[in-house]
Structure 1
Amino acid sequence: MAKPEPAATRRAGRAQLVVTLLCALLIMSGCAGSQQGAGTAAKATVTDSSPAGASGAAAGTTGTFSTTDIAWLQLLIAMDDQTRLILELVPRHGGETALKTWAAGVARDNRSHLTALRELLAATGVPDTNPHEGHDMPGMVNSEEMKALGDVTGSRFDGLLRSALREHLTHAEQLSTDLRKNGADPRVKKLAATVKESAAEHRERMPV
């Protein structure tokens, strides 16, 4: 009988899948059964990388957004929304001053990115709903992790915070790198470059 795959191996495989198949599969990867996500992809465009045309995108868009662009916007919004919640805990639950100061910078960029992401999603004509709600995906804080962070303070909180934000920043950087290669709309690609640089900088400067 084959030995079961270790949890770490399964999680690494899921992470690689998300990074590799950013296009339309980002809405479906790790989100099987999400009819809302599948419907959003269908409204956006017909293929993974072709620009959304008049028959695909909602009226009023520029017609330059691809499914890849929209999938990235939706996933980053979902990831950043969850990260925003844990960053709000830092002033009350955190222990290390250096970590609190660093997290405040992450929080500022997080708010700025969310605003820009939502503005671009609005320009696509796709509703600002969350097709990833309730899903446990790489880079996204799940409900168990959120509860654990809310239940502790000091050094225990700091350890959980480091782990959660390291994973978030790593995957935000990877997904944004992939979008730069496979996206269509220049505005989305420009934002992806900003997110990538910000995530890399914060990850490298995280206090240890």
Structure 2
Amino acid sequence: MNERLLPVLDLVSSRTADSAWLTFTARLDTAHRADLRTARRLLAEFGAPTTNPHEGHDMPGMVTDEELAALRSASGAAFQRRASQHVRAHLEQAIRIGSAEQRAGVHPATTALATKVVRTGSAELTRLDRLDRTTAVNRDW
């Protein structure tokens, strides 16, 4: 899932000058890249295939090629609205998956990663809520 959100986060600096959005997405980008590295390391430790079994699937929380194209053509408040929707869907799905791993996981390293994903995802959703409210007030969404 993180692989599909990263291109959205990569667009932010060229689509908005909103400092709050730039700060929010920079933090999210750093955390998601770190989680992705951890997940890849765990997969390698377990001897799991390196291919993504979800590649090409459009699942909840995963940005499609069409949605990414729409984001590339938007800027400012319109971009922020669309990006916010994608980030929210991604975080909500990541929390669902992480919660399921916390309940059913058996490997301590994967349940630890899941706990981190749930904790940080919940905190980022709270930040996104505040950001959306502030942006809506400032830009009259």
Is the pair's TM-score, using the shorter chain for normalization, greater than 0.5? yes
Deviations 1:106-157 (A, max 9, x none): 1110111011010001111112111211111001111111111111111111
- Superposed CA deviations along residues 80-116 of structure 1, whole A, max 9, x for unmatched, are 0011111111111124221121111111101110110
Give the Å deviation of 1:195: 0.8
Partner deviation per Cα, 1:141-175 (whole Å, 9 max, x = no partner): 11111111111111111011100000000110111
Shift of 1:193: 0.3
The answer as to whether partners of 1:149 and 1:160 remain within 8 angstroms in 2 is yes
Q: Distance in 2 between matches of 1:89 and 1:175?
A: 26
| Number of residue pairs the alignment of both structures matches | 130
User: Which whole-Å CA distance do the structure 2 matches of 1:169 and 1:95 have between them?
Assistant: 23
Corresponding residue to 2:97 among 175, 197, 204: 175
Amino acid of the residue matched to residue 37 of structure 2? T
* Structure with greater helix percent: 2
Please identify the structure whose Cα radius of gyration is greater: 1
Alignment-derived partner of residue 154 in structure 1: 76
| 1:194 counterpart residue number | 116
Contact 1:95–1:155, Cα closer than 8 Å, also in 2 = no
Q: Which of 25, 43, 50 in structure 2 is aligned with 1:121?
A: 43
Map residues 32-47 of structure 1 onto 2, 5 A cutoff. none
Matching residue's letter, 1:167: A
Cα RMSD for the two superposed structures: 0.9
| Distance in 2 separating the partners of 1:92 and 1:178 | 36
Any unmatched runs of 5+ in structure 1? 1-78
Structure 2 equivalent of residue 13 of structure 1: none
Deviation string for 1:168-193 (max 9, x for gaps)? 00110111011000111011000100
| Counterpart among 7, 20, 23 of residue 85 in structure 1 | 7
The answer for the alignment partner of 1:163 in structure 2 is 85
Q: What amino acid is the match of 1:177? A: S
Deviations 1:41-74, CA, capped at 9 Å, x for gaps: xxxxxxxxxxxxxxxxxxxxxxxxxxxxxxxxxx
Structure-2-length-normalised TM-score: 0.89
Q: Which consecutive unaligned segments of at least 5 residues does structure 2 have?
A: 133-141
